[in-house]
Structure 1
Amino acid sequence: MPDKDSKIQQALSFAAREGWSRKPELFLEKATQFLCTLLGVKYAFVALKIKGTSTAKTIAIAADGEIIDNFDYELTGAPCENAVSFGYCECPSGVTQEFPRDTLLQEMGIESYLGFALEGRSGEARSIFAIMDDKPLQDAVVARNILKILSHRVAAIIVHLENDQLISNKIQELESFRRAMDAQAIVSIADKAGNIIYVNDIFCEISGYRRDELIGQNHRILKSGQHTPEFYQDIWKTISAGKIWQGVIQNKTKQNKPYWVKSTIVPELNENGIPVRYVSIRTDITAEYERLDKSTAANNAKQRFLTSISHEFRTPLNAAYGYLQVVQHNSALPPTAQEQLTEALKAIETLTDLTDSVVYFASGSHLKLDVRGQINICDIFKSCRDKYGTQLKARGLLLKLNCGPDLTISHHKNPISEILERYLSNAIKYCEHGGVIELKAEYIDKHKLRLSVKNDGKGLVENDNNLFEAFEKADQMAGSQSGLGLGLYIVAQTAQVIDAKVGYENNPGPGAKFWVDIQESGGSA
């Protein structure tokens, strides 16, 4: 049996001789065999703790100097658990008594254990380098020093293996991503000069070119003539500056057939931030674009028609309204004639409002959202007042604005304005001459703002659960008002678009109150 100094020297020689093998993983097996032979122990092994579990897996294990199959084992209650927790575990004898929960030790007939925990690439102790024997250790101090000598190289190799595994995983991920992209998207890669160096099968299929006809060419081969030179200059300026470009491009096939793609061009940069390649990922949107063109054309025609209808109705109505106002101001008219003129003016107002509602409803404008931003509620109230100022004055109505000047919320302005304007229009129609209308803003809980419009007319005849349905009317004054009943339906549809709730209160006594509850961020409606 070699003496202590001789064993240490042999360990140093082994580490120097075998530690830099071209296949680092072989060193782990040789090291376990070497330890069994040098120290005369039954087992030597290297194990890795499986992340997120209480299990370890041997990656090299020798028994009586021969390599055996790797296996998983439970760390809980085992000496290896102590090694991982404290960096080192030594039990020269009586290990099964020291760790009675480790049934594997008993099955293997183990009497002694000595092991170190080694740090991985993350700095976390995840690997174990240990020896075990079926008899007490003869010289634990020598065994400990020899494991220390070899542990530095073992730890470095484990980090190397972890890095290799990480790289392999990333390569597999990238390969899976590439296969997914090639199966779904139009992909090409160009060099720093913009010349094509790679195209996938879908690129060839949609463009009509063979791969050999595209490689080495510039993407100009696909130009359709749809875009201006400035369009392409902007693309090149963006990507050559190292920035990502996204947009829609019309290309043409080899057979001169146009097609549309949604394109993203990503520059691949070197260590100095200079583009060396450009990766282009495209999606064929030709069918969508053609449908959009048809839909846009139809919508434009519809909008022109509605605008024309509105103009044809409003022009004579506005003229008649103006003439009647001039006549009404003639103080020589008898009271009966004045009353008739007032009713005629109301009828024109109703017809004008009806025209506006029909055109607005048919255009679908109530289903469109503007950009969300900070809006001042008091400013919206004032806009409502200004819009209906003439009607308020003509009917001798007083409009009260009950809102703090600094009440600001983040929301969509146009839908909220539309709801309040239609509420106010109804309140004016159903309010007695000389009456009062109130626009009010109040929080009914921390994140819910209620905006309401209340008049002091006769009130609703009865509660009606269908009031916000199409062609239902708020019959406040026993049938004295005409109309299609679209106003409150448009209100309900507009509220739905912005996730708001609408309703009304029909309290005993005069007046009715219509409201909309607006949910601010931080709560649910």
Structure 2
Amino acid sequence: MNAKPKILIVDDKPENLVALRIVLKDLDIELVEATSGNEALKATLRHDFALALLDIQMPEMDGYELAGILREEEKTMHLPFIFISAVYTDNLNVFKGYEKGAFSFITKPFQPEILINKVKFFIDKHQQEITLFELNEDLKRKVKEIADYKYALDESSIVAITDQKGIIKEANNNFCTISKYTREELIGQDHRIINSGYHPKEFIKDLWTTISGGKIWRGEVKNLAKDETIFWLDTTIVPFLNEDGKPYQYMTIRSDITSRKKAEDKLQAVNKELEAFSYSVSHDLRAPLRAINGYAEILNEDYGTKLDDEGKRITEIIRDNATRMGILIDDLLSFSRLGRKEIQMTEIDMNEMVERVMIELNKSMTHHAKIKIDKLHEVKADYGLLRQVMFNLISNAVKYSSKKKNPIVEISSEEKNGEIIFSVKDNGAGFDMQYADKLFGVFQRLHSQDEFEGTGVGLAIVQRIISRHKGRSWAEGKVNEGAVFYFSIIKN
């Protein structure tokens, strides 16, 4: 709510102050009274006035002296005032009043309407000045904000402005630095001055169709500098629209991603090498394993009658270990490929997925348990990878509870703090919590091979998959009382 405008009235006679108060009583103003020039000056220090009404004939300091001081002080030098006098009414005094800076001179007696109208005029003028001041201050703030935004943009980004035909109108220092052109060389040139020719026509056509339609375009663009070096820019083009909604110019905001692109190229090359290496490992390691397994089988079939029980046992150990080594190679290859596999996000019905996993496990596992499956939350994730997580956790739970009389595995989920948390609980062998941080490491096992078979890679695969989904994986357990394995997927 705006405060009422304040009017200063100065007169040494109380009856005159009362009379002025009566005349102005219907106006929405606040009156501040003073009976001397000194009182009036003190009042100007405490208040901001829209207008002052001054008597001339006063002891110690008359109205003319007071007006002179008001005009000398910075705070009141622009304060409008009106002289009101019943004594100094001749033309000489009226002229002197105007000379002192009065906006009007009223002689007594006067019609109240005259004073009321003059006061109204200055009140309106004062309100307009306040509004103008506020608008001006707001404009200053907005201009500063725009300047700050421009500074931040210029310091952090590569910026250029082109007209609707793509002719460069402005380019900041960062643009000049990365393109190796001076600002003078860029201004007035077609934006294609940095075109590398890398992108197909369809790419360029899509860009222009988007921005000429008034929409923002985003993409990664390969460019050519003046010295013919290549640089990549993550690019956002924003159309500026006229009153008809048509673009009249475009602002292009870019960031240098050349280093990232080089790293991606190197990573792609490394991935190809790793793929070739994986194939080589798979082939080169499997060949001797097949030979070991084959010779052990020949030994068993062709010379079985000549082997005693210990020989047959050793032959069987050779074959079992060769088989385990083959499984270990498969697991290691699966683990190494996880970091390179592209994630395909899709909506997943987790109950349907778990049912499919159970069908597969029932066919392959020699141990079985009672499986309890709650109504599970749906999530968005890579179906194949998340299926591997569930397969590994459920098969582990069944395996490690196999020595119990009544093995039970419970699968459930809950939503908490923006995550969907899944749990696979068993009543099996459990583990000591002081070793919990080792569970998800490659080849980390808390039980011997004789107790529970396995390669020690399954939980590492679980953690790698969940990490790639930006989720968490952890476990809780107690020796001989079972374990609970958790993983989280970010909601949406």
Residue 330 of structure 2 aligns with which residue? 356
**Which of 68, 73, 79 is 1:68 aligned to?**
73
2:339 is the counterpart of 1:365: yes
> What displacement does 1:451 show?
2.1
Partner of 2:378: 409
Name the CA shift for 1:233/1:443 in 2 (closer, same or farther; >3 Å). Answer: closer
User: For each residue in 1:284-311, what CA deviation from the matched residue of structure 2 results, as whole angstroms up to 9, or x when unmatched?
Assistant: 2222222221122112321332244346
Query: Are 1:33 and 1:62, in contact at CA under 8 Å, matched by a contact in 2?
Result: no
The answer to whether the 8 Å contact 2:161/2:249 transfers is yes
- Report the equivalent of 2:254: 282
Q: 1:515 aligns with which of 481, 485, 488?
A: 485
1:95-120 CA distance string (max 9 Å, x none): xxxxxxxxxxxxxxxxxxxxxxxxxx
Counterpart position of 1:153: 125
* Shift in CA distance, 442/181, structure 1 to aligned 2, threshold 3 Å: closer
Give, in whole Å, the separation in 2 of the partners of 1:277 and 1:470.
57
The one of 51, 54, 69 equivalent to 1:35 is 51
Who is 1:187 aligned against?
159
Distance (Å, rounded) in 1 between the aligned partners of 2:393 and 2:120 = 84
Determine which of 200, 212, 216 is the counterpart of 1:240: 212
Q: Deviations over 1:93-150 (max 9, x none)?
A: xxxxxxxxxxxxxxxxxxxxxxxxxxxxxxxxxxxxxxxxxxxxxx999977754442
Report the CA distance shift for 1:426/1:408 in structure 2 as closer, same or farther (over 3 A). closer
- Check 1:372–1:258 CA distance in 2 against 1; reply closer, same or farther (3 A cut): closer
Check whether the contact 1:247–1:263 (CA below 8 A) recurs between aligned residues: yes
CA contact (8 A) 2:414 2:422 kept: yes
> Offset at 1:168?
2.0
1:521 CA drift (Å): 5.6
Within 5 Å, give how 1:28-427 maps onto structure 2: 35-37=51-53, 65-66=70-71, 68-70=73-75, 147-310=119-282, 347=321, 350-365=324-339, 370=343, 374-392=347-365, 395=366, 397-398=367-368, 400-404=370-374, 406-410=375-379, 412-413=381-382, 416-427=386-397
Distance 2:342 2:407 in 1: 28
**Partners in 2 of 1:191 and 1:272 — Cα distance?**
16
Equivalent residue for 1:116? Answer: none
**Which residue does the alignment assign to 1:487?**
458
Q: Partners of 2:184 and 2:261 in 1: how far apart? A: 30
Work out whether 1:498 is the aligned partner of 2:471.
yes
Distance 1:315 1:449, change over 3 A: farther
Matched, 1:440 2:414: no
Distance in 2 (alpha carbons) for counterparts of 1:34 and 1:339: 111
On the 8 A contact 2:196/2:222 being kept in 1, the answer is: yes
Quick one: which amino acid aligns to residue 51 of structure 2?
A: L
In structure 1, C-alpha distance between the alignment counterparts of 2:380 and 2:186, rounded to whole Å: 50
The CA deviation at 1:378 is 1.5
Distance verdict in 2 for CA 1:516–1:384, change over 3 Å: same
Query: Cα offset for 1:201?
Result: 2.6
Please give the alpha-carbon distance, in whole angstroms, between the structure 1 residues aligned to 2:388 and 2:70. Answer: 86
Residue 350 of structure 1 aligns with an amino acid whose one-letter code is R
The Cα offsets for residues 211-259 of structure 1, whole Å up to 9 and x where unpaired, read as: 3332222111211121111111111111101111111111112222222
Unmatched runs of 5 consecutive residues or more in structure 1: 9-31, 43-60, 72-138, 326-335
Residues 437 and 218 from structure 1, CA distance in 2 versus in 1: closer, same or farther, beyond 3 angstroms?
Answer: farther
Q: 1:163 to 1:264 in 2, by over 3 A?
A: same
**Separation of aligned partners in 2, 1:282 and 1:444:** 42
- SS of equivalent residue, structure 2 residue 472: coil
1:457-498 CA-to-partner distances (Å, cap 9, x unmatched) read: xx3697762551443214266456363x33334444555651
Distance of 1:379 and 1:193 partners within structure 2: 55
Distance in 2 separating the partners of 1:164 and 1:450: 59
Residues 321 and 218 of structure 1: CA distance in aligned 2, closer, same or farther (over 3 Å): farther
| Residues in 1 aligned to 2:57 and 2:187: alpha-carbon distance in whole angstroms | 64
* Deviation sequence 1:383-427 (CA, Å, 0-9, x none): 3224434422xx2x43544224x5223354556433332234445
Name the CA distance, whole Å, in 2 between partners of 1:500 and 1:383.
Answer: 22
CA distance in 2 between counterparts of 1:239 and 1:431 reads 62
Tell me the residue number matched to 2:107.
none
* Alignment check: 8 A CA contact 2:179 2:224 kept: yes
Measure how far apart 1:505 and its partner are.
4.1
- The Cα of 1:437 is off from its aligned counterpart by 6.2
Change (3 A) 1:270 1:285: same
Note if contact 1:437-1:453 (Cα within 8 Å) is conserved in structure 2.
no
Alpha-carbon offset, residue 446 of structure 1: 6.7
Letter matched to residue 129 of structure 2: I
Runs of 5+ unmatched residues, structure 2: 1-10, 25-47, 59-65, 77-110, 298-308
d(CA) in 1 for partners of 2:50 and 2:488? 76
Partner of 1:128: none
SS of the aligned residue for 1:283 comes to strand
The alpha-carbon distance between structure 1 residues 158 and 349, as it changes in their structure 2 partners (threshold 3 A), is farther
Aligned length: 394
**Contact between 1:430 and 1:476, CA under 8 Å: does it hold in 2?**
no
CA offset digits 1:133-184 (Å, max 9, x no partner):
xxxxxx9999777544422232222222222222222222222322333333
Q: Residue 408 of structure 1 aligns to a residue in which SS?
A: coil
Contact persistence 1:375–1:409 (CA under 8 A): yes
- Residue range with higher mean Cα deviation, 311-320 or 195-204: 311-320
CA 1:446–1:302: 2 relative to 1, 3 Å: closer
Amino acid at match of 1:360: S
Report the Cα distance in structure 1 between the residues aligned to 2:372 and 2:364, rounded to whole angstroms. 20
Kindly tell me: are residues 445 and 162 of structure 1, through their superposed partners in 2, closer, same or farther at Cα, counting changes over 3 Å? closer
Counterpart AA for 1:359 = L
Per the TM alignment, residue 444 of structure 1 is displaced from its structure 2 partner at its CA by 7.5
Q: In 2, are the aligned partners of 1:33 and 1:65 still within 8 Å (CA)?
A: no
Q: What is the Cα deviation at residue 266 of structure 1?
A: 0.8
